[in-house]
Structure 1
Amino acid sequence: MESMEPGTVRPGGRTARVRTAVLQAAGDILAERGYSHLDLADIARRAGVGKTTVYRRWGTVTGLVADLLADMAEQSLPRTETGSLLGDLKANARLVQRTLADSRQGPLFKAVIAAATGEARTAEALRHFYDVRVDEWAPCVQQAIDRGEVPEGTDTHEVIRAVSAPLYYRLLAGGGRIDVAAADRAAEAAATAARAGVFLSEGRPR
């Protein structure tokens, strides 16, 4: 769902610096040319590290992409708490919007999603990325339940997924601009549906 702010670099020793450089290079190539153009030797050259280091640590392109997604999940920004369900969902939607509208991150996600349709390990890594992000934001829905804004038994994870789904549709299907207005509409739709009981867990009365 959401990524880190572009250009974020964590402190660390040589191993951390090598990983940062290699993942940055892999992400750049994904964004520029797509998954089919990923090559470990090319990534090593762009990152300025030894080819053997890249092969020894990651082994395959799919292994490297899986690590890239894990790193993006680790560095993703934490949720925002505004005190209302709509405010929280708008904060989530706007973070997704900024990510998908970004000139690097948008194409990167398109490339990874395309690759995940045919690569089981990439698909697993992508699912893990989204699981981490949904888990991060789901508590804002639980807080809304506790405040009485939405019914008990609401599936907190489904509400968060409903926020980002329209924005990913726009990214992947060319369904219009991914702007703040689109983000706010997605959040408002999810909040309205949640209050109406649309996301009640199976077996709960509506």
Structure 2
Amino acid sequence: MTVDESAPGPGAVRPGGRTARVRTAVLRAAGDVLAERGFAHLDLADVARRADVGKTTVYRRWGTATGLVADLLLDMAQQSVPRADTGSLLGDLTANARLVQRTLADPRQGALFKAVITAPTCDPKAADALHRFYAVRVEEWAGCVRQAAARGEVPEGTDPHEVIRATSAPLYYRFLTTGLPLDETAADRAATATAAAARAGAYTRDA
């Protein structure tokens, strides 16, 4: 579950100085467009105008809307909050679920995530970028399940990636398919259910 960075895509370099400021401005503008209008309306010329950057610069560096989304997802993965280490599986999963809940419940972040989640349905390269983003985030949090296994909280052979996916899956489902509020109660319920299932052996590789 690691990201292969041997062949970075457009905009994947992490430069300094003015180039870094341009990248920051463009990615911020791209996120605004995605949150406001969705992937289908992500236009590089519009992003350049919002970022106060020359169109040539944006087209030369990112090339396509998909290239821009890929770099935005890379940046989001790099800027994400590190995983918790509370000393218990339930505490760690609760921290994970509450982080997901806060992100999706935030008006701008929620709209942005909805845009990048739906983009892959019409663009294979966007799908690959999204898969890479979540591979990084799931692997970051998988460590808490490995620690739980070492403490004897879950059976040997528990798949850490499946446990982390199972924790956030109900929150994404509620977010994408209902108009119900996404609150801490929903987050805590998801974490509690996943921790109980993991302790019962539901996520062992044999299962």
Q: So what's the TM-score if we normalise by structure 2?
A: 0.91
Return the match for 1:80 from 76, 84, 91. Answer: 84
2:40 and 2:158 mapped to 1: Cα distance? Answer: 41
**Counterpart in 2 of 1:28?**
32
**Counterpart in 2 of 1:197?**
201
1:171 equivalent to 2:175? Answer yes
2:87 and 2:26 mapped to 1: Cα distance? Answer: 40
1:89 and 1:40 mapped to 2: Cα distance? Answer: 38
Return the match for 1:116 from 86, 95, 120. Answer: 120
Show structure 1 runs of 4+ deviating over 2 A: none
2:120 and 2:104 mapped to 1: Cα distance? Answer: 17
Cα 1:81–1:11 change in 2 (3 A) is: farther
**Counterpart in 2 of 1:102?**
106
**Counterpart in 1 of 2:135?**
131
**Counterpart in 2 of 1:7?**
none
1:127 and 1:181 mapped to 2: Cα distance? Answer: 28
**Counterpart in 1 of 2:156?**
152
**Counterpart in 1 of 2:45?**
41
1:186 equivalent to 2:190? Answer yes
1:32 and 1:118 mapped to 2: Cα distance? Answer: 18
Question: Shift of the alpha carbon at 1:79?
Answer: 0.4
Cα 1:175–1:149 change in 2 (3 A) is: farther
| Matched AA of 1:104 | R
Question: Shift of the alpha carbon at 1:152?
Answer: 0.3
| Matched AA of 1:108 | L
Are the counterparts in 2 of residues 31 and 105 from structure 1 also a CA contact under 8 Å? yes
Return the match for 2:93 from 79, 89, 107. Answer: 89
Identity %: 74
Cα 1:196–1:106 change in 2 (3 A) is: same
2:200 and 2:16 mapped to 1: Cα distance? Answer: 48
Q: So what's the TM-score if we normalise by structure 1?
A: 0.92
2:152 and 2:141 mapped to 1: Cα distance? Answer: 18
2:79 and 2:116 mapped to 1: Cα distance? Answer: 17
Q: Structure 1: any 5+ residue segments left out of the alignment?
A: 1-9
SS in 1 for 2:107: coil
Question: Shift of the alpha carbon at 1:175?
Answer: 5.7
Cα 1:81–1:122 change in 2 (3 A) is: same
How large is the RMSD of aligned CA atoms in angstroms?
Answer: 1.3
